[in-house]
């Protein structure tokens, strides 16, 4: 990935409105990783990622920036919520499990890449197996030891059958390549192992669960299942099987660990929720403990996973929180120091809502237009209709809890609920969403304070 910071911001702009400061910060952090890969090995070990802390209310784009960034760079990415973890000894998850989840994500990325490399060979093998299923080899012929002439005649007959069989195979292969047999049915026998899921509620037991899981995978008996499917479905199934046989499992696992170590991104949401109050007892003590357990992982340590040891020294951590009741300075001093880049995200304005509804590639208006198009209905959003939607979203956020852009989801669902229900039976195939349409369906609910709390 060799995108410049300016190019990264431009790509993020296609999906996320505003928040330029946050976009610039993450773009620089990613570019620094690219730079680190190109310095001398002696210096490379010394350069650590500049972790980022995003501060801002919910629904302003914190998670979306991190997720889009990971997709853009092809980096393994996981989002975790700090409140899911507790200090070892309390009920909850071990903070080290976030690293194990990151490696699993990296494994999926590497496996997909390796499968793509062997796809052509896997497809050839899959087609060979499909030909065998559609035209099985002829059964063996009888041999007579008593009569040499019979043997010779039988041999000639077998040769003719073999030549005819190969011609038929060639014909079927051509038909498969042209897609003329996609709906033919074939039978496939798949093998699975009945491996029990081992779940433990005890903190710190994840590594032991992995060990037990791996042991059962080796000793559990295989069960064979016969499945009937079309040639089209069978091809995908067989390509996946053949791809797995062509790629090296050890190579994939080693590459996944390396990818997670050097390019992994862990997004820790709600980090402000693990700030302990002044009266430290019960859950507050555990919250303070989560910070202590989190510190070595962010600082750089080695975690044991089922695929080997993973170093977190160069994993990029992006923390986020609203910090309504707490401040970043309320975190442990050592943890604060591990997030040197602080970015404050702005509250969304009415103009931001208008842009969110129209500009991104996957904007809500475009999503609903695509959904209604499946019912042969053309959905047209007029500028004054979009303006009215933005006005209602902004006003409701101001009067009640500010949930940012997520307010648009509830208002759009309310607006188009009747249309979504009636769409399959409607004769009118063009619906115009203007200010009057929006007002008729939203105005009464938005004005009723008690009702809007539940509906909008």
- All domains in the chain, ordered by first residue: 5-112+257-344 (3.40.50.300), 119-246 (no CATH), 350-455 (1.10.8.60)
Q: Are 415 and 456 spatial neighbours (Cβ–Cβ below 8 Å)?
A: no
For residue 344, give the H/E element and its range.
Answer: strand 341-344
d(CA 345, CA 60): 7
d(CA 108, CA 199): 22
**Considering the entire predicted model, what is its pTM?**
0.74
d(CA 260, CA 316): 10
Q: What is the DSSP letter of 46?
A: T
pLDDT value for 310:
92
User: In terms of Cα–Cα distance, which of 327, 298, 292 is closest to 312?
Assistant: 298
d(CA 282, CA 255): 42
What are the residues whose beta carbons fall under 8 Å from the beta carbon of 235, sequence distance 6 or more? 123, 126, 127, 130
For residue 190, give the H/E element and its range.
Answer: strand 185-193
The tens digit of pLDDT for each residue in 196-223 reads 555 444 444 555 555 656 666 667 666 7
C-beta contacts of 448-455 below 8 A and 24+ residues apart: 449/399, 452/396, 452/399, 452/400, 453/400, 455/410, 455/414
d(CA 416, CA 454): 17
Mean pLDDT per segment of 10 residues, for the chain of length 456 residues? 85 87 88 86 84 87 86 88 67 77 92 89 86 72 52 66 75 80 79 56 52 63 76 85 88 92 90 70 60 88 89 91 83 88 88 90 90 91 92 87 86 90 88 90 70 56
Q: What is the DSSP letter of 338?
A: T
**Helix or strand or coil: residue 130?**
helix
Token readout for 278 is: 């002044």
Q: Are 387 and 432 spatial neighbours (Cβ–Cβ below 8 Å)?
A: no
Cβ neighbour number for residue 152 with a 10 Å cutoff: 10
d(CA 135, CA 175): 13
pLDDT value for 213:
61
pLDDT value for 201:
47
Q: Are 243 and 122 spatial neighbours (Cβ–Cβ below 8 Å)?
A: yes
């Amino acid at each position: 990935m060799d995108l410049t910071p300016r190019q990264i911001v431009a790509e993020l702009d296609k999906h996320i409105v505003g928040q330029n400061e946050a976009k610039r910060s993450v773009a620089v952090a990613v570019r620094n990783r690219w730079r680190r890969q190109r310095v001398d090995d002696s210096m490379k070990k010394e350069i650590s990622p500049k972790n980022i802390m995003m501060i801002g209310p919910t629904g302003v784009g914190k998670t979306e920036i991190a997720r889009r960034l990971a997709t853009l760079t092809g980096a393994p990415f996981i989002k975790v919520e700090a409140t899911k973890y507790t200090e070892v000894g309390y009920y909850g998850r071990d903070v080290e499990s976030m690293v194990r989840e990151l490696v699993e994500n990296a494994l999926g990325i590497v496996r997909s890449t390796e499968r793509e490399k062997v796809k052509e060979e896997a497809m050839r093998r899959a087609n060979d197996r499909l030909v065998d299923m559609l035209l099985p080899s002829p059964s063996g012929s009888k041999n007579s030891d008593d009569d040499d002439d019979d043997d010779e005649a039988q041999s000639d007959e077998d040769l003719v059958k073999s030549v005819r069989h190969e011609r038929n195979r060639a014909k079927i292969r051509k038909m498969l390549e042209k897609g003329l047999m996609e709906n033919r049915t074939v039978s496939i026998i798949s093998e699975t192992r009945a491996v029990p899921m081992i779940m433990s509620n005890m903190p710190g037991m994840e590594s032991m669960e992995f060990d037990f899981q791996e042991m059962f995978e080796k000793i559990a008996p295989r069960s064979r299942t016969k499945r009937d499917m079309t040639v089209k479905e069978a091809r995908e199934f067989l390509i996946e099987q053949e791809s797995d046989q062509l790629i090296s499992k050890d190579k994939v696992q080693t590459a996944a660990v390396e990818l997670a170590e050097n390019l992994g991104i862990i997004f820790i949401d709600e980090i402000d929720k693990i700030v302990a109050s002044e009266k430290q007892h019960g859950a507050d003590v555990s919250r303070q403990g989560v910070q202590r357990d989190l510190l070595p992982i962010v600082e750089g340590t080695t975690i044991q996973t089922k695929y080997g040891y993973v170093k977190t020294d160069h994993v990029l951590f992006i923390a986020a929180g609203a910090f309504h009741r707490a401040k970043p300075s309320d975190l442990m001093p050592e943890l604060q120091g591990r997030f040197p880049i602080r970015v404050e995200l702005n509250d969304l304005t009415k103009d931001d809502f208008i842009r969110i509804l129209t500009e991104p590639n996957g904007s809500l208006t475009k999503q609903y237009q695509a959904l209604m198009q499946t019912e042969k209905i053309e959905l047209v959003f007029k500028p004054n209709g979009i303006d009215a939607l933005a006005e209602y979203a902004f006003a409701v956020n101001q009067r009640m809890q500010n949930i940012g852009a997520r307010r648009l989801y509830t208002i759009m669902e309310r607006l188009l609920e009747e249309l979504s229900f009636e769409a399959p039976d409607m004769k009118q195939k063009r619906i115009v969403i203007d200010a009057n349409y929006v007002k008729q369906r939203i105005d009464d609910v938005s004005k009723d304070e008690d009702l809007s709390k539940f509906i909008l």
